[in-house]
Homo-oligomer: A and B are copies of this chain.
Amino acid sequence: MTRSVKDVAEFVGGRVVGDAAVPVSRVASVASAGGGDLVFVEDGGGLEAALLGGASAILAGEFARGVEGKTVLREGKTVVIVEHPRLAFARVAAWLSEAGVGEESRREVGVHGSAVVHASARLGAGIAVGALAVIGENAVIGDGSWIGAGAVIGAGVMVGKKCEIYPRVVIYAGTSLADRVIVHAGAVLGSDGFGYVRDGKTGRYEKFPQMGTLRIGDDVEIGANTTIDRGALDATVIGRGSKIDNLVHVGHNVVMGEDVVLAAQVGISGSCVIEDGVVMGGQAGIGDHAQIEAGVILGGQSGVLPKKVMRGKGVVFWGTPARPLREYLKQLAALARLGKKG
């Protein structure tokens, strides 16, 4: 199935310049696009490149208003002018994919014959369960969700609607996912937290109970091989819309707000509070019981000490221990001068 540029423009609320009947079946990058492909550009240079490239249609911003006169346009390219071309592009990509237009092979609805589904599990309508997946006792899978090959869904786990659980994900008992949660391959959700009590007499560590839960909100995406521990006695919580990259660690009892962004290999120690809209660069590390207040931005590899409170919407911190960026840059410059004198 293929859409016309007219359909695309209506879907994103854009204005067509050129032939609105041009068919579009896929999104692509400007460099790789061919016939039937839609691309997006964010400035005049990008527009020039796209006009010279192979794409059939181009999503562009208001800067492209004067494009009508271009020769290439007369030769069959169509431009759709929208307020935010990147966002429009993302939405069209998802829409083409939903509509079955894209190349991605659809997941077959139904339960693969080799999957091991406990008799007491409740499976919603229109779900797809891949080969050799395991679904435990009393687990609940919501309508339209997909459980990939070899994933292991523990006893009593609740998976909401339209979730995508990629192959080999493991979800421990005591975990619940809301709707439209995406979990990439190899992620482990609800594992035991890292908590021990040392016996002063023997010097040995004994396991502190790790019996809590993990609750994940709507529209969360979790990267490949990321691990999120359940609470020790209470809950670990990941708020709606938060996006977590690959190989991230989130410790027990962490309470994370909405629309938080954690880049790859970030580590959040136990009992931290990460408020709405926090952004962390790759490999940032947060000590236990720290509080990162709403909107704080932590640079890559920065470190926050245990129990520390970081504050300031849109304020960027960097370094270990993390300092306001301007301050830290001054310190780095001073150190560089000192090294030269050295």
Which A positions have Cβ atoms within 8 angstroms of B? 27-29, 31-32, 84, 86-87, 89-91, 93-94, 97, 102-105, 112, 114, 116, 130-132, 134, 137, 148-150, 152, 154-156, 166-168, 170, 172-173, 182, 184-186, 188, 191-192, 194, 196-200, 203-209, 211, 219, 221, 223-225, 227, 229, 232-234, 241, 243, 245-247, 249, 251, 259, 261, 263-265, 267, 269, 277, 281-283, 285, 287, 300-301, 303, 319-321, 323, 327-328, 330-336, 338-342
A62 to B155, CA, bound (A): 40
A155, B105: Cβ atoms closer than 8 Å: yes
Contacts of A300 in B (CB 8 A): 269, 285, 287, 303
A97 to B207, CA, bound (A): 12
A132 to B134, CA, bound (A): 8
Which of A87, A166, A264 is the most central at the interface, judged by chain B CB atoms within 10 Å of its CB? Answer: A264
Contacts of A321 in B (CB 8 A): 332
- Chain A contact residues: over half helix, strand or loop, or mixed? loop
A224, B191: Cβ atoms closer than 8 Å: yes
A321 to B321, CA, bound (A): 15
A206, B264: Cβ atoms closer than 8 Å: no
Q: Report which of B168, B199, B221, B320 forms a contact with A152, defined as CB distance below 8 A.
A: B168
CB-nearest residue of chain B relative to A118?
B131
CB distance from A293 to the nearest CB of B (A): 16
B197, A188: Cβ atoms closer than 8 Å: no
A234, B87: Cβ atoms closer than 8 Å: no
B209, A94: Cβ atoms closer than 8 Å: yes
A224, B227: Cβ atoms closer than 8 Å: yes
B287, A264: Cβ atoms closer than 8 Å: no
A154 to B285, CA, bound (A): 33
Query: What are 28 contact pairs spanning A and B, CB under 8 A?
Result: A29-B232, A29-B233, A86-B208, A102-B211, A116-B131, A130-B134, A131-B134, A150-B150, A152-B168, A167-B170, A168-B170, A170-B224, A186-B225, A188-B224, A188-B246, A247-B247, A247-B267, A249-B265, A251-B264, A282-B287, A283-B283, A321-B332, A323-B336, A327-B336, A331-B335, A333-B342, A334-B341, A334-B342
